[in-house]
Amino acid sequence: MDTILVVNAGSSSVKFQVFSIEGEGSLRRQIKGQIDGIGSRPRLRASGASGDPLADRAYPIEAVADVPAAMGIAGEWLRNELRIDPIAVGHRVVHGGPDHDGPVLVDHGVVARLERFVSLAPLHQPHNLAPIRTILAGFPGLPQVACFDTAFHRTHSAVADHYAIPHQFYAEGVRRYGFHGLSYEYIAKTLPQVAPDIAKGRVIVAHLGSGASMCALKGGRSIESTMGFTALDGLPMGTRPGQLDPGVVLYLISEKGMSASNVQNFLYRDCGLKGLSGVSNDMRELEASEDPRAKLAIDHFVYRIGLNAGMLAAALQGLDAFVFTAGIGENSASLRARVAEQLGWLGVALDPAENSRHARLISRAGSRIPVYVVPTDEELMIAQHTLTLLMKAPSSNPRQERVS
């Protein structure tokens, strides 16, 4: 069985999935796993295609001190215990910089170029690149593909891509990149089957997970995103504030004496729903809480989604459909109902029964704007990109050097 391994590495976890290549290049998910608690309480968990548990084991902290070590353990487990021998590996890489508008086959030169973007995504890029380097060193003949969260947004116009700061900064890479691109690309590719009538039109997609953003799609292409230079901008998130007056950052530095790294930690880890509620960054816990600050955090989240929808509708010069996706968007009927209420002025009217049962189409028949719930699948998108590039690269011989 030919397989593709998909890797999504963060600072404290390495998530992985294995897809088998079926007839005519279709892909079937076989394994879903992750090593989390890297450097604290490492644990490997994995399940099979139907959710059947395949592994749940703890490791001593010294055995999994960093991302390369976690990659090594996951690779050994796949090879030695499951006899998984992938013909290629696809990686999620948060930043492709200004030049990458699609995935690329990776070699040492590409890794060196992607290294330049570490300063644009210091909390993500180094961890995304670490497993690529580990595999390049151990299995130099194994094709690897980097898939970028920024690439899908490279279709933005120059006016959308700029900040109103001196041009030299744009030239050196300070641009409104936008993120969650693999998720939006998956939705854009799926919409023609879900709703062929509106797939060519003007659609706002709300990716509401721990990270949250919204994207304006016109004819299936991204024209605007709520995120900009970094994944801090736009909507409030689990632990990130979203849009913030830069004056607040100046206040933290000048009045609170915070260093750059203190501010960075604060903005990435202590703000958003967690900071505002003082209760949790997790929407399920906020929805279950009686604490008025939890209610305020949800109200704020809904309000900002509404404001940003207005902004994206202006960028699109109208609206033909609204799509919810990701953890909160796919699972929280009450949050969707609150957002729909906020969008009532645009002509959104939900069908409460369809919303409660998480149907694909959750708006009423008479709703001027149809509203959909479309589960995202960034890993499948990465596997598809990896397979496509593999097929296009006749020089790469995937059989030459396998993981085992």
Closest CA relative to residue 136, chosen from 99, 84, 91, 100? 91
291 is catalytic: no
Q: How many residues line the site for ligand ADP (CB under 6 A)? A: 13
Given 327, 339, 343, 380, the residue binding ligand ADP (CB under 6 A): 327
Helices (H), 324-395: 326-331, 333-342, 352-356, 378-392
User: Which uninterrupted H or E stretch holds 44?
Assistant: strand 43-48
Distance CA 239, CA 105 (A): 33
Helix, strand or coil for residue 155?
Answer: helix
Decide whether 282 or 354 has the Cβ nearer to ligand ADP. Answer: 282
| 291 binds ligand ADP, rule: CB under 6 A | no
How many whole angstroms separate alpha carbon 268 and alpha carbon 172? Answer: 23
Give the x/- contact pattern for ligand ADP in 220-259, rule: CB under 6 A. ------------------x---------------------
Q: Determine, following the binding rule CB under 6 A, whether residue 209 of this chain makes contact with ligand ADP.
A: yes
Instruction: Determine, following the binding rule CB under 6 A, whether residue 328 of this chain makes contact with ligand ADP.
Output: yes
Measure the CA–CA gap between 279 and 260, rounded to whole angstroms: 26
Should residue 36 be labelled a site residue for ligand ADP when binding is judged by CB under 6 A?
Answer: no
List the one residue from 13, 30, 155, 331 that touches ligand ADP (CB under 6 A). 331
Which DSSP state fits 57? E
Alpha-carbon gap, residue 379 to 351, rounded angstroms: 31
- Which parts of 115-134 interact with ligand ADP (CB under 6 A)? none
Please report, as residue ranges, which positions from 301 to 320 form the binding site for ligand ADP (by CB under 6 A).
none
Measuring CA to CA, which residue among 196, 190, 207, 225 is closest to residue 311? 225
Which segment (133-141, 305-313, 324-332, 360-368) binds ligand ADP by CB under 6 A? 324-332
90 close to 386: Cβ distance less than 8 angstroms: yes
Q: Which of 52, 99, 149, 161 is catalytic?
A: 149
Distance of closest approach, residue 332 Cβ to ligand ADP, in angstroms: 4
Site string for ligand ADP, 72-91 (x = CB under 6 A): --------------------
In angstroms, the first-to-last Cα distance of the chain is: 14
Q: Is 332 in the site for ligand ADP (CB under 6 A)?
A: yes
Q: Considering just the CA atoms, what is the radius of gyration of the chain in Å?
A: 21
| Interface positions with ligand ADP (CB under 6 A) | 209-211, 238, 282-284, 287, 326-328, 331-332
Active site residues: 149
